[in-house]
Chain A
Amino acid sequence: MGIRTVGTRTAVAASAVLALATSTAACSSNASSSSSGSAGGGKVSLSYGVWDATQVPAMQKIIAAFEAQNPTITVTIQQTPWADYWTKLQAAASGGSAPDVFWMNGPNFQLYAANNVLRPLTDTDPHPDTSVYPPALAKLYQYKNVQYGLPKDFDTVGLWYNKALFDAAGVAYPTASWTWADFQAAAKKLTDPAKGVYGVGANLEGQENYYDTIYQAGGSVISADGKKSGYADPATVAGLKFWTDLVAAKESPSLKQMTDTAPLNLFESGKLAMYWGGSWDAKEFSGNDATKNGVDVAPLPAGVKKATIIHGLANVVFAHTSHPAQAEKFAAFLGSQQAAQIEADTGTVIPAYNGTQQSWVKAYPQYHLQSFLDQLPDAVPYPISKNTAAWNTLETTELTKAWDGSEPIDKAAGDLATAMNAALAKEGS
Chain B
Amino acid sequence: MTVAGATARPVAPAASTPAAPRDRGARRRRRRQRGKEAAWAAFFLAPTALGLGVFYLWPVLQTFYYSFTTWGPFGGHTFSGLANYRALAHDPDLRSAFVNTLWYCLLGLAGIPVALVLAAVLARPGRRGVGVYRALLFLPVVTMPVAVAIVWRWLYAGDYGLINTLLAKVGIHGPYWISDQSTALIAVALVGLWSSVGYTMVILMAGLESIPRQYYEAAQIDGAGPVRQFFALTLPLLSPSLFFVTVLSVIGTLQTFDLVYVLIGQTNPALPQTRSVVYLFYQDAFVNNNRGYAAAIAFVLLLVTVALTGFQFRLQKRWVHYA
Task: Please list the residues of chain A having a beta carbon within 8 angstroms of any beta carbon in chain B.
Answer: 1-5, 7-13, 15-28, 30, 87, 90, 93-95, 111, 115, 117, 204, 254-257, 259-261, 387, 389-390, 393, 396-397, 400, 403-404
Whole-angstrom distance from the CB of A405 to the nearest CB of chain B? 10
19 sampled A-B residue pairs with Cβ under 8 A: A7-B5, A17-B302, A19-B56, A21-B60, A21-B302, A22-B63, A23-B281, A23-B298, A24-B291, A28-B66, A111-B73, A255-B179, A257-B176, A259-B176, A259-B178, A260-B176, A261-B160, A390-B287, A393-B266
When distances are taken between beta carbons in the complex, the residues of chain B under 8 Å from A22 are 55-56, 59-60, 63
Contact of A260 among B59, B178, B298 (CB under 8 A): B178
The answer for the CA separation of A115 and B60 in the assembled complex, in Å, is 28
When distances are taken between beta carbons in the complex, the residues of chain B under 8 Å from A7 are 1-2, 5
| A20 x B302 contact (CB < 8 A) | yes
| A390 x B244 contact (CB < 8 A) | no
When distances are taken between beta carbons in the complex, the residues of chain B under 8 Å from A254 are 176
The answer for the CA separation of A21 and B40 in the assembled complex, in Å, is 31
| A24 x B295 contact (CB < 8 A) | yes
In B52-80, which residues have CB < 8 Å from any A CB?
A: 52, 55-60, 62-64, 66, 72-76
The answer for the CA separation of A370 and B181 in the assembled complex, in Å, is 42
Contact of A24 among B66, B176, B267 (CB under 8 A): B66
Q: Does B274 reach chain A (CB closer than 8 Å)?
A: no
| A400 x B66 contact (CB < 8 A) | no
Q: Does B46 reach chain A (CB closer than 8 Å)?
A: no
Whole-angstrom distance from the CB of B261 to the nearest CB of chain A? 12
| B206 x A24 contact (CB < 8 A) | no
| B1 x A1 contact (CB < 8 A) | no
Contact of A400 among B1, B55, B269 (CB under 8 A): B269
Contact of A259 among B161, B269, B295 (CB under 8 A): B269
| Chain B residues within 8 Å of chain A by Cβ, number | 70
Contact of B1 among A11, A13, A87, A404 (CB under 8 A): A11
Closest to B306 in A: A17
The answer for the CA separation of A387 and B55 in the assembled complex, in Å, is 31
Q: Does B140 reach chain A (CB closer than 8 Å)?
A: no
| B302 x A261 contact (CB < 8 A) | no
The answer for the CA separation of A383 and B178 in the assembled complex, in Å, is 31
When distances are taken between beta carbons in the complex, the residues of chain A under 8 Å from B63 are 21-25
Closest to A116 in B: B74
Other contacts beyond A255-B269, A256-B158, A403-B269: 12, CB < 8 A: A1-B207, A1-B241, A7-B1, A9-B247, A15-B52, A18-B60, A21-B59, A21-B60, A22-B60, A24-B59, A24-B295, A115-B73
Q: Mark B292-308, 1 if CB is under 8 A from A, else 0.
A: 00110011011001100
| B5 x A21 contact (CB < 8 A) | no
Whole-angstrom distance from the CB of B323 to the nearest CB of chain A? 9
The answer for the CA separation of A312 and B283 in the assembled complex, in Å, is 26
Q: Does B225 reach chain A (CB closer than 8 Å)?
A: no
| B180 x A204 contact (CB < 8 A) | no
Contact of A397 among B55, B252, B272 (CB under 8 A): B272
